[in-house]
A and B are shown apart, each in its own frame.
Chain A
Amino acid sequence: MGTVRLTRAIEFSASLRYCRSDLSEADNERLFGAAAARHGHNYRLEVTLRGEPDPMTGMVIDLKELEQVLDREVMARFDHRDLNTDTPYFEKRAPTPENFALVIRRLLLDALPDGTLDRIRLQPESTLWVEIVEPEDAP
């Protein structure tokens, strides 16, 4: 049949500041500029899965299952939270879109059936987004 890709989008809101706990306030401000001050974003996350549709159900994945994974791994952890203080991921690295996307990718790779994640696209602002595309031969 061939590979089909499906994309599910979710939106959530969080506060954050770019800072690393191993640096002084002054060093954080020097390194990260205005983003070292606490601010917030409405994030849009698009998650694309790939696979052969099951011959019987016609689905790559049951969307209910995908929604549960996104609720548990993304919404419950990050929506209406402060990324620096309410999550364990941004102690030593700043919650830049790049680092945040890498964290979400890791969580989704661990939660989704092997080989189904195709890409994620994380958009914190209308003029900026980050994509991580999994290699075709990913196990």
Chain B
Amino acid sequence: MIRLTRHYEFAAAHLLIHPDLSDAENRRIYGKCANPNGHGHDYGVDVTVSGPVHPESGRIVDLEALDAIVEDEVLSRFARRTLNDDEAFRRLVPTAENIARVIYEKLAPAIAERSSAELVRVDVRETGKNTFAYGAIQ
């Protein structure tokens, strides 16, 4: 299986609170990540696609097309925003696990529709210490 990975970055604010829980419960579960005024990260996102290598172009995916999809679906939505304000995180705590899953679910149909490649994995690096992967893990 041949696959291609492209790395992107965006900076965003968030705080970890579930709207149905009390302040004390959120504090107990999320600790300093629940600080009420939020905090931020430089997120790294690795987008991995798979598919046939086109004999004409020698490519799995047109990188400009992939960049445009990621710009439309991810970077323009999340870069320099507060993730909790995004519709995707109204009922979903913006942990990096959930961010990876949301990005995967936004990118998968767009990549299927706008390219001949298939999304197979999204990795989200929240800090230098923590990375989260969603999709076909190998």
Query: Hey, which bits of chain A sit against chain B, CB under 8 A?
Result: 18, 31-33, 93-99, 101-102, 126-133, 135
Q: Is the CB of B2 within 8 A of A98?
A: yes
Q: Are B7 and A128 in contact (CB under 8 A)?
A: yes
B53 lies within 8 A of A127 (CB): no
Q: How far is the CB of A24 from chain B (nearest CB, A)?
A: 14
- A-B pair count, CB < 8 Å, reads 53
Contact A130 B3 (CB under 8 A): yes
Given known A-B contacts A94-B58, A102-B53, A131 and B3 have beta carbons under 8 A apart: yes
What's the dominant secondary structure at chain A's contact region? mixed
Contacting pair A128 B63 (CB below 8 A)? yes
A132 / chain B contacts, CB cutoff of 8 Å: 1-3
Q: How far is the CA of A18 from the CA of B6 in the complex (A)?
A: 19
From residue B52, how far is it (CB to closest CB) to chain A in Å?
A: 10
The answer to whether A101 and B2 touch (CB under 8 A), given A93-B55, A128-B63, is yes
Residues of chain B within 8 A (CB-CB) of A98 are: 2, 4, 53, 58-60
The smallest C-beta distance from B103 to any residue of chain A, in angstroms, reads 16
